[in-house]
Amino acid sequence: MDNSTRAMILGTGRSIPEKILTNADLEKMVDTNDAWIVERSGIRTRHIVEPGTPLSSLAAAAGKQAIEDAGLAVTDIDLIILATVTGDMKFPATACFVQTLLGAENAAAFDISAACSGFLYGMQLADSLIRTGTHRNILLIGGEVLTSMVNWEDRNTCVLFGDGAGAVVLGPSQQDRGILTTQIGADGNHSKLLYNPGCGSINPPTPENARDKLHTLRMEGREVFRHAVVCMSRSMKKSLKAAGVAIEDLDLVISHQANLRIIEALAKRLKLTEGQGYVNVDRYGNTSAASIPIALDEARRNGRIGEGDMVGLVTFGAGFTWGSSIVRL
């Protein structure tokens, strides 16, 4: 495919709820303590929405910021892709609500569901659409209100997750900047290691299923850890090879902010130098599909990366799913 038409990042944005839930707060809710949480996850705080806050409001705010950063009008956007597993409702797509909130009247809109890998799944799709010329300015958002599906009685999972949204605007590049490669994959054999069993056709909403909290997520943490490190390392190496660059050529590597131990184990496998990785899981927790675009926007705005820098993105999520990308900003 002609690299002259590759997609590039024109702008970024993020939206983080104001309310902060600390480890001290969680000590009052479940049998846990700050030292236990930090040792196992590296998380100290996470941002959470007020009850009843829809994902669409966070996603639209992040999208608006990204469009402004790109120097475009809302009407310039011709497609909105929202990666999420916590949409406003089963249907229609939450991206349609985002379209209305933004006033993006010229944009088609749909959601994709690939859990924590959703943003990079969306990036590959958006890049392909821009390369083929069917779309020009695509708003890609990763957003979650994970607190809506957390079991607040399960100390092993409720301490891990936060809410938020991050966004990028992608458009055609005629330069050496842009998405050099994106690699995605999946293995459904491990779907029961990280999943939400309720609210679908298998376990529809009933009083009995609500009583059994089937609407909340389940996770086998040790198995997820083991697979996450291996799959992300393998995926990143494939993307590096496809892009024709070495790990030391990357100015920054942003991995999915799921757990500090996973981030550190991946950094060791990839032999990242000190300062080459990015960490904000300590402040936001695991925001699933939102974690990479939130970190990307934060890193741009705090000066860690800028125009011309090469960035590696890598993720892993339920499914299992995974993905990676090499991007020159």
Catalytic residue annotation: 116, 256, 286
> Which positions ≥6 away from 42 have C-beta within 8 Å?
259, 260, 261, 263, 279, 281, 282
What count of residues does the chain have? 329
Question: How far is residue 287's CA from residue 163's CA, in Å, rounded to a whole number?
Answer: 6
Question: How far is residue 142's CA from residue 287's CA, in Å, rounded to a whole number?
Answer: 9
Inter-CA distances, 99 with 52, 68, 79, Å: 20, 15, 9
Beta-bridge partners for 313: 254, 325
The four Cα atoms 231, 235, 238, 243 give a dihedral, to 10 degrees, of -170
Inter-CA distances, 59 with 82, 200, 256, Å: 8, 23, 18
Query: Would strands 218-219 and 194-195 be described as parallel, antiparallel, or unpaired?
Result: antiparallel
Inter-CA distances, 190 with 104, 304, 317, Å: 38, 36, 11
Assess contact for 274 and 282: CB atoms under 8 A.
no
Question: How far is residue 97's CA from residue 290's CA, in Å, rounded to a whole number?
Answer: 18
Beta-bridge partners for 326: 181, 312
